[in-house]
Structure 1
Amino acid sequence: MTTQPERQSLTFYPPRYFDLSPTYHSWAKLTAAGVHALRKPPPGLGHSTYISSVMSHKPFFRLFYYLNHPIRFVRVVGTVVEIGAPTPLLVLFTLDDGSGATVEVKLERLRPDQLDKTGTHESNTVVPNVRVESGIGFLNVLVDGTVVDIGTVLRVQCSLDSYRQINQLELKQCSVIKSTADEIRNWVGTAKYMRDILQEPWVLSAKDQAKLDRRYSREQQAKRDKEIKENQRKTLRQRAKEEWYRVRDEKKKVLEEKLERRRQKEEVLMNRGALV
Structure 2
Amino acid sequence: MSTPELYPPKYFCLSQVYKSWVKLFSKDIYALHRLPGYDNSNVWHWLNHPIRFVELLGIIVGIEDRQHFHIYDCTFKERRRLIFGVDDSSGITIDLVIRSEGLNGQKPVDEGIRKKIDVGNLVKARGFIVQFRDLRQLDVVTIEILQDWNLEIKGWNERVVLKEKVLLKPWVIKDEINIKFEKGRETSSQKRKLDFKQLPITEQTPANLKLLILQYLETNDLHDFTISHLRSTPEIEDGARLVAQPSTSANVHYTLCQVLKSLIHDGNIILENQVYIVIGEWNIGEIINQQAAEAKRKSKNHPNLTLRVSKVWAQVTGRGGPWRGVSKGVVGEIIQDMLLKSGKWRNVGAGRWAYTGYKQ
Matched, 1:212 2:181: yes
Alpha-carbon deviations, 1:228-256, whole Å to 9, x = none? Answer: 8996x85xx9xxxxxxxxxxxxxxxxxxx
Question: Which of structure 1's runs of 4+ aligned residues deviate more than 6 A?
Answer: 228-231
Residue number in structure 2 paired with 1:250: none
Structure 1 residue 36, shift from structure 2 partner: 1.2
Offset at residue 129 of structure 1 (A):
3.2
- Report the AA paired with residue 150 of structure 1: V
CA distance in 2, matches of 1:126, 1:26: 20
Equivalent pair of 2:109/2:143 in contact (CA under 8 Å): no
Instruction: Work out whether residues 98 and 109 of structure 2, in 8 Å CA contact, stay in contact via their aligned partners in 1.
Output: no
CA-based RMSD of the aligned residues comes to 3.0
Give the aligned partner of residue 27 of structure 1. Answer: 21
SS at match of 2:181: helix
Distance of 1:218 and 1:47 partners within structure 2: 31
> 1:36 aligned to 2:5?
no
2:53 to 70, 73, 79: 73
Cα pair distance change 1:153/1:21, threshold 3 Å: same
Distance 1:23 1:129 in 2: 27
* Among candidates 110, 113, 119, match of residue 129 of structure 1: 110
1:201 and 2:192 matched: no
Equivalent in the alignment of 1:178: 147
Say whether residues 1:107 and 2:98 are aligned partners.
Answer: yes
Q: Does 1:158 align with 2:139?
A: no
Query: For residues 64 and 133 of structure 2, what CA distance do their matches in structure 1 show?
Result: 18
Map of 1:63 onto structure 2 = 43
Contact 1:63 1:71 in 2 (8 A): yes
SS at match of 1:182: helix
2:82 maps to which of 77, 91, 95: 91
Structure 1 residue matching 2:194: 3-state secondary structure: helix
- Percent sequence identity is 26
Rg: which structure is higher? 1
Q: Which amino acid letter does the alignment assign opposite residue 168 of structure 2?
A: Q
Q: 1:228 to 1:90 in 2, by over 3 A?
A: closer
In the TM superposition, residue 110 of structure 1 has moved relative to its aligned partner by: 3.0
Describe the SS at the equivalent of 2:17. coil
In 2, distance between residues paired with 1:165 and 1:228? 40
Matched residue type, 2:55: R
Say which SS state the counterpart of residue 101 (structure 2) adopts.
Answer: coil
Distance in 1, matches of 2:169 and 2:81, equals 37
Q: Do the aligned residues in 2 keep the contact of 1:80 with 1:96 (CA within 8 Å)?
A: yes
Separation in 1, partners of 2:24, 2:190: 38
The Cα shift of 1:215 comes to: 1.8
1:35/1:103 contact within 8 Å kept = no
Structure 2, gaps ≥5 residues long: 69-79, 204-360
CA distance in structure 1 between the aligned counterparts of 2:158 and 2:60, rounded to whole angstroms: 20
Give the superposition deviation at 1:166: 2.3
- Counterpart of 1:90 in structure 2: which amino acid? R
SS in 1 for 2:96: strand
**Separation in structure 2 between the aligned mates of residue 12 and residue 166 of structure 1, nearest angstrom:** 25
CA distance in 2, matches of 1:214, 1:75: 34
Give deviations 1:153-205, integer Å, cap 9, x for gaps.
10001112111132211000111111122222222222221221111121112
Cα separation, partners in 2 of 1:83 and 1:229, compared to 1, 3 Å:
closer
Alpha carbons 1:127, 1:171 under 8 Å: kept:
no
Q: 1:177 to 1:36 in 2, by over 3 A?
A: same
Equivalent pairs counted in the alignment come to 190
Asked if structure 2 preserves the Cα contact closer than 8 Å seen for 1:94 and 1:102, the reply is yes
The CA distance in 2 between the partners of 1:165 and 1:206, in whole Å, is 39
**Structure 1 Cα separation of the partners of residues 112 and 28 of structure 2:** 28
Question: Residue in 2 aligned with 1:260?
Answer: none
Amino acid corresponding to residue 166 of structure 1 in structure 2:
L
Answer whether contact 2:60 2:119 (CA < 8 A) is retained: yes
The CA distance in 2 between the partners of 1:168 and 1:228, in whole Å, is: 38
Secondary structure at 1:202's aligned position in 2?
A: coil
The aligned amino acid for 1:95 is V
Query: Structure 2 CA distance, aligned partners of 1:214 and 1:47?
Result: 30
* TM-score, normalisation: structure 1: 0.61
Amino acid corresponding to residue 110 of structure 2 in structure 1: N
AA paired with 2:132? Answer: Y
Deviation at 1:126, TM superposition (A): 4.3
CA contact (8 A) 1:107 1:126 kept: no
